[in-house]
Chain A
Amino acid sequence: MHISDGIISTPVCIAAHAASAGLLYFTGRKAEAAEIPRMGMTGAALFTASLIQFPVAGTSVHPGLFGLTGILLGRRSFPVIYMALLFQAVFFQHGGLLSLGLNALNMGAGAFAAWLLWRLKGLPEYLRSAAAGFLGIMTPALLMTAEFRISSYGSAVALLLAIYAVTGAIEGAITLSAVKFFRKVKPEILTN
């Protein structure tokens, strides 16, 4: 899901950088000093937890956890995801410098969509958490597909969505399990 530099057209990447800079400002402004260590720590947790590999159909996938980050941090998830992606680019070359804004927008949108869904208190919690995990993957996948199309890839690029739907389902199960764990051990963490 991390788009490397050179794959998507440069104007799209530059526009995404500008948009993500604006979003960084709006989602990070008025952050209390007490919030900053928590955001930094959650960014590190997001980075670390995404290193967990689990086997699927002869290969291994790692969770994105954008849905879970959205549930835990709400609008503050964008700066946290931005930083986690920056370090993924620096340490593992997943993504790139120019595409950082684009990747942050895609995955931040996943976290934001998950957060909005999580706030629909009319739905049962198990459904909200599983759907938030699923949406946390499918929203970035949908945006990524659109960006590939803009960059002159064929419409068959939409086939990627089918692959991501499987990952999204796995992510939904993980998010559901994590939320159940939080509810049991530390429910106040789920107050967003």
Chain B
Amino acid sequence: MKNGISDSNGSYDSVIHRIDPVAKIPAALAAIVLIVSEPLNVPISRFALYMLIILFAAALSRIPLMRYLKRMLVVSPFIAMAAVFYPLSLYLSSRELFLLDSDIIYNTAAVIMMKAVCALFVLLLLTLTSRFTRVMPALRRLGVPPLAITLAALTYRYIFILSDELQRTNRARESRTPGRLVSNRLGVYGNQVAVIFLRSWERSETVYKSMLSRGFTGEFPYSNYSGPDSRDFLIATVFVIAISAVRFISFVL
């Protein structure tokens, strides 16, 4: 796969990997909500404590830190842009920066950036330590409707097939339009998009017939899923309590 899509999450094993997604998903969501609901005027040092907890969990996952950082690097320009855009939008709106307290504004921009970075790290921790095959039945147990789960399972399955299709159509497009202007190539891009959609539709008809022949009724069975145990909930709860302790530290001290 050359598009950066891979499901190599199963190549590591650790205490974090073994936590059932039924406990891990709500814990990750709770941590994200707690972090991003921090007020904008909070001291930036607070986020160092969040990062400490998250990095500790990341270390437990035994996944090299570099792998987290590489994934973060891809989106960090967008996060930085959103943070920088905060003071910039205020400046462009008022045109009189001296009317605004610049320290507060820059602290707010830094808080926005750190919230996004911490939330992203939690998301990475969740996705890099969870196998898709365990996530689907876990979501069912968490009350997600069967249609959404079946749809997610099918989308996931075909992303890999269609990514290969994309490689082929990219090669065909490049060989047919060498050196042409972008404006002239838009039509070719449109055709490429149409080919990918068209092939997916044609393939879906064949897939549906073969699924029907195997007894598909609109929902995939997940009979061999054992579910979480108390240890999973204990670890997830400790993580959420640690994040909550930082979140509400100002109320205690």
Q: Does B51 contact A (CB under 8 A)?
A: no
> When chains A and B are docked, how far (Å) is the Cα of A44 from the Cα of B3?
14
* Chain B contacts to A: CB under 8 angstroms: 3-5, 28-29, 32-33, 35-37, 40, 71-72, 74-75, 78-79, 82, 85-86, 88-94, 112, 114-120, 123-124, 126-127, 145, 147-148, 150-159, 161-163, 165-166, 170, 182, 185-198, 200-201, 203-205, 207-208, 211-212, 216-218
Tell which of B182, B196, B218 has the most Cβ of chain A within 10 Å. B196
Pair count A-B, CB < 8 A: 251
Q: Are A92 and B4 in contact (CB under 8 A)?
A: yes
A residues near B155, Cβ cutoff 8 Å = 40-41, 43-44, 47, 80, 83-84, 87
Task: From the candidates A10, A36, A72, A89, name the one contacting B197 in the complex (CB within 8 A).
Answer: A72
Q: Known: A84-B155, A156-B93. Is A40-B185 also a contact (CB below 8 A)?
A: no
Q: Is A33 an interface residue, CB under 8 A from the partner? A: yes
| Known A45-B196, A55-B182, A181-B194: A40·B153 in contact at CB below 8 Å | yes
Q: Which of A23-31, A109-117, A120-128 is found at the contact surface with chain B? A: A23-31
Total interface residues in chain A, CB < 8 Å: 75
Among residues of B, the one whose C-beta sits closest to the C-beta of A94 is: B75
Taking Cβ atoms with an 8 Å cutoff, the residues of A that contact B are 2-7, 10, 13-14, 24-25, 28, 31, 33-34, 36-45, 47-49, 51-52, 54-56, 63, 65, 68, 72, 79-80, 82-84, 86-87, 89-94, 96-98, 148, 152-157, 159, 170, 173-182, 185-186, 189
Q: Report the Cα distance A67→B208, complex, angstroms.
A: 26
Chain B residues whose CB sits within 8 angstroms of the CB of A93 once the complex forms: 71-72, 74-75, 120, 123-124
Given A48-B163, A68-B193, A153-B90; A28-B158 close (CB under 8 Å): no
Q: Contact between A42 and B201 (Cβ–Cβ < 8 Å)?
A: yes
A82 to B149, CA, bound (A): 12
A10 touches B200 (CB 8 A): no
What's the nearest-Cβ distance from chain B to residue A107, in Å? Answer: 15
Greatest chain B CB density within 10 A among A42, A94, A159 is at A42
In the complex, which of the residues B119, B195, B203 has the most CB atoms of chain A within 10 Å of its own CB atom?
A: B119
A4 near B82 with CB under 8 A, answer yes
Q: Which residues of B contact A177 (CB under 8 A)?
A: 186-191, 193-194
CB distance from A58 to the nearest CB of B (A): 11
- Contact partner of B201 among A7, A10, A189, CB < 8 A? A189
| A33-B218, A93-B75, A159-B92 known; A5 vs B154 contact (CB < 8 Å) | no
Bound-complex Cα distance A24 to B86 (A): 32
Q: List 6 A-B contacts (CB under 8 A).
A: A5-B115, A42-B204, A44-B161, A49-B166, A155-B89, A155-B93
Query: Across the interface, which residues of B come within 8 angstroms of A87, CB to CB?
Result: 152, 155-156, 159
Residues in B with CB closer than 8 Å to A178 are 190-191, 193-194, 197
- Whether A154 and B170, one on each chain, are in contact in the complex, defined by CB atoms closer than 8 angstroms, is no
Residue from A40, A84, A173 whose CB has the most chain B CB atoms within 10 Å: A40
Residues of B within 8 A of A72 (CB): 197
List residues of chain B with CB within 8 A of the CB of A79.
147-148, 151
| Contacting residues, chain B, for A185 (C-beta < 8 A) | 194, 198
